[in-house]
Amino acid sequence: MRVEVEKCRRASEIGRDCKLFRVPQVLDYDESNGVAIFERINGIKPIKNAVSWGDEYAALAEILGSSLAIIHENLTLPNEMIVPLPSQLTFPGCDVFIHGDLSVYNVCVEKDWPPIVILDWQMTRMHGGKATYGTRYFDLMWFIDNLVYRPTLRYIFGNPLRTVSKIFLDSYFKTARIEYKADEITSYAKHFFDLKKPLRKQQESRRFHFLLPRSHLLANEFIESLSSIFPKN
C-alpha cells in the first residue's frame, strides 16, 4: 500500500502537468493500518463500458499512448521501492517505472474527455502484485492483451484492434521520442502472448471459453502486424 500511495501521488502530479490524464489524489494514508483514502471522481466509467469502437476509440488510443509515454519518462520512485518485474516478463535495455495494470477497467473517462482517468497503480495480481520497474513493453502489451482478452461481436466480424493498436503504439513512440525497434517489440510481444495463452483458459470463466480461439487469433494477427504497420529500422 505504501508503494501504491507513493506512485499515485507522483503520477497525479505528472497528470496535472501534462493535462492528458488524471489520477485520484491521495487525501490521507494511515500506514500503521495500511489504509489509504483517495479522491472520489464522480461520473467516471471504465473504457470497457464507456468508449465505442471507431473514431472514439481511436482518439482514446492516441491520448493513452501519449499519456503512457509521459508516465514512463517522468515517473520515479525511491530506490527501496524498486521491485523488478518477474523474470519471465523482463526484456533487456528498456526499463522504466511501470503502471503495472493498464487495463480497460483501470483506464476511465468522464462524460467530457480528455483528460482520461487512470486508476489502480499497483502491479496486476496476476503477475505477483508487487513489481514497479521493468521493460516499457510490459505496459504496452498488457493494454493490448486487455483488448483481445474477451472479444466482442465487433471482433468476430472484423478486427478493430488493428487500427487502435497502431494509433496507440504510434502515439507512444512519437511522444517518447525513442526509436521504434520492430524486432525488439515483436520478439517481446510473441513471448508475452505465448506466456498468456495457457493462462487465459485458467483465468477465464468457462462461459467465455468459446471466445478464446478468436482471442488467440487476434493476438497472433497483432504480433504479425508489428513488423509491417510500422517502418522497419
CA 212 to chain centre: 21
Residue 114 has pLDDT above 60, yes or no: yes
Q: Cα-atom radius of gyration of the chain, to the nearest Å?
A: 17
Task: Summarize pLDDT for 27-84 with one digit per residue, the tens.
Answer: 999 999 989 999 999 999 999 889 988 899 999 999 999 999 999 999 999 999 999 9
Hey, what's the cell of 64? Answer: 493513452
Q: Is residue 36 part of a domain?
A: no
Q: Is residue 20 part of a domain?
A: no
| Confidence band for 214, pLDDT divided at 50, 70 and 90 | confident
User: Which domain covers residue 184, as residue numbers?
Assistant: 42-225
Q: Is residue 173 part of a domain?
A: yes
* pTM to 2 decimal places: 0.92
Q: Is residue 108 part of a domain?
A: yes
Task: Summarize pLDDT for 120-142 with one digit per residue, the tens.
Answer: 999 999 899 999 999 999 999 99
Whichever domain contains 208, its CATH number is: 1.10.510.10
Q: Is residue 5 part of a domain?
A: no
Q: Which residues pair with 135 in a beta bridge?
A: 95
Q: Is residue 184 part of a domain?
A: yes
Hey, what's the cell of 71? Answer: 508516465
Residue 61 and residue 104 in contact, taking contact as beta carbons nearer than 8 Å? no
Instruction: Quickly list H helices, the chain.
Output: 2-18, 47-50, 55-74, 136-149, 153-156, 161-176, 182-203, 212-225
Q: Is residue 6 part of a domain?
A: no
Q: Is residue 74 part of a domain?
A: yes
* Structural domains of the chain, count: 1
Dist CA 65 CA 61 (whole Å): 6
Residue 92 has pLDDT above 60, yes or no: yes
